[in-house]
Amino acid sequence: MSAPRLPYEGLRVVEFTHMVMGPTCGLVLGDLGAEVIKVEPVGHGREGDATRRLLGSGAGFFPLFNRNKKSVALDLQTPAGREAALRLVATADVVSENFKPGAMKKLGLDYDSLKEANPRLVYVSHKGFLPGPYDHRTALDEVVQMMGGLAYMTGRPGDPLRAGASVNDIMGGMFGAIGAMAALAQREATGRGQEVQSALFENNVFLVAQHIMQYAVTGKPAAPMPARISAWAVYDVFQAADGQIFLAVVSDTQWTIFCQAFGFADLAADERLRSNNDRVRARDWLMPQLRERLAPFSVADLAARFGDCGLPFAPITRPQDLLDDPHLLATGGLAPLTLPDGKATRTVLLPITLDGERPGVRLDPPRLGEHNAEVLGALGYSPDEIRAFTDKETS
């Protein structure tokens, strides 16, 4: 029995992307079935997407965001490289890029330069800012977290702190993919493509929009998360005998269940704790009591008791521990992957199912220029031309 057809099977995406934001857009479309061809720079001191060689917190960028893609290595600073790129783009349904404003125009690969020859083209640009007063500025995920209110909300008062993942880069790429999907749907009706733009700053503003609207509704500024007035009385990290665990009791029914499960009859009968709002107002004296009463329990004991009662809980987990998470392993959330250096590992799939299945890995992250012969051959280059072209571009 053949595998089910993926939604974007038969769609060709050509991406001129690097780092995280642009590659995330291609990752989403590639996981959903599109043929994604990643054009990587070589020559003039370049050796492909720079994330291939990043250390530390960037070491996972390339293998995560570049599966289900083919790699073509081109020197776009040469006429031959640009000509090959133009031939390739002429076959594309979608072009995606995330270089500095004006970079693609200098190469003749911007939307205005391409749309007349390919009016059905959907062109996705991922930038730091949408067009406006800030669009000349260089943006990074951390830059927009600081200027967009997210670092303020994450850190303690007076101590802004960036989120612990590339949230704007990843979500910015996702919104680029959503925009591409919308443009492709509209193309079915109009027969014409269009330019789509996604930006880090505007993405970050969307992330903090709930706090903006909180101010609009209440007239009171939102406090940073560590200093916030919680909407629920019990909604915090607790120190257990052997570690930490997050525990939540967010309704009056859950409060009754919680008190019964732990034998806290005195708290259940306390008129000062009758409703959730009463308990929120009592947090100053209630939380120290709960911390003292729960401290002798182990993390496993608290998790078991909360789990048996259907109350929300979460042990504090390190990212690497998720590679052995029983739920992810049982539900197919992790898939085998071979890195460009040949090392075998597992990777995280998109957090969706299609007809009950997680879209998987069809292609491992490619070696630099791995698909030059396949892709350039289909464009009409002879084997000798491809060899000469590849030797020239990668020398």
pLDDT in tens, 4-36: 689 999 999 999 999 999 999 999 999 999 999
Which three-class secondary structure state does DSSP give residue 317? coil
Q: Which amino acid, 274?
A: R
Structure confidence by residue, pLDDT tens digits, 214-244: 999 999 999 998 887 788 889 999 999 999 9
CA distance 393 to 75: 6
CA distance 18 to 47: 12
Residues 238 and 291: beta-carbon distance below 8 Å: yes
Q: Are residues 256 and 189 in the same domain?
A: no
Structure confidence by residue, pLDDT tens digits, 75-103: 999 999 999 999 999 999 999 999 998 99
Q: Are residues 43 and 162 in the same domain?
A: yes
CA distance 88 to 151: 41
Q: Is residue 218 part of a domain?
A: no
Share above pLDDT 70 across residues of the chain, in percent, rounded to a whole number: 97
Q: Is residue 5 part of a domain?
A: no
Q: Are residues 101 and 235 in the same domain?
A: no
Q: Is residue 222 part of a domain?
A: no
- Is the pLDDT reported for residue 391 higher than 80? no
pLDDT for res 228: 78
Q: Is residue 334 part of a domain?
A: yes
pLDDT confidence of 2, banded at 50, 70, 90? Answer: low
User: Taking the C-alpha atoms of 301, 303, 307 and 313 in order, what is their torsion angle to the nearest 10 degrees?
Assistant: 150
Mean pLDDT across the chain: 94
- Going by DSSP bridges, is the β-strand pair 313-315/243-249 parallel, antiparallel, or unpaired? antiparallel
Q: Which of 264, 296, 319 is the last residue of a domain?
A: 319
pLDDT confidence of 384, banded at 50, 70, 90? Answer: confident
Which three-class secondary structure state does DSSP give residue 310? coil
Number of domains in the chain: 2
pLDDT for res 394: 46
Domain residues for the domain of 80 are: 12-207+326-394
Give the contacts of 197 (CB within 8 A, at least 6 positions apart): 124, 125, 126, 127, 130, 131, 179
Q: Which of 299, 319, 339 is the last residue of a domain?
A: 319
Q: Are residues 52 and 138 in the same domain?
A: yes
Give the contacts of 60 (CB within 8 A, at least 6 positions apart): none
As beta bridge partners, residue 124 has 96, 196
Q: Which amino acid, 241?
A: A
Residues 334 and 67: beta-carbon distance below 8 Å: no
Q: Are residues 310 and 341 in the same domain?
A: no
Structure confidence by residue, pLDDT tens digits, 274-315: 999 999 999 999 999 999 999 999 999 999 999 999 999 999
Q: Are residues 138 and 264 in the same domain?
A: no
CA distance 383 to 376: 9
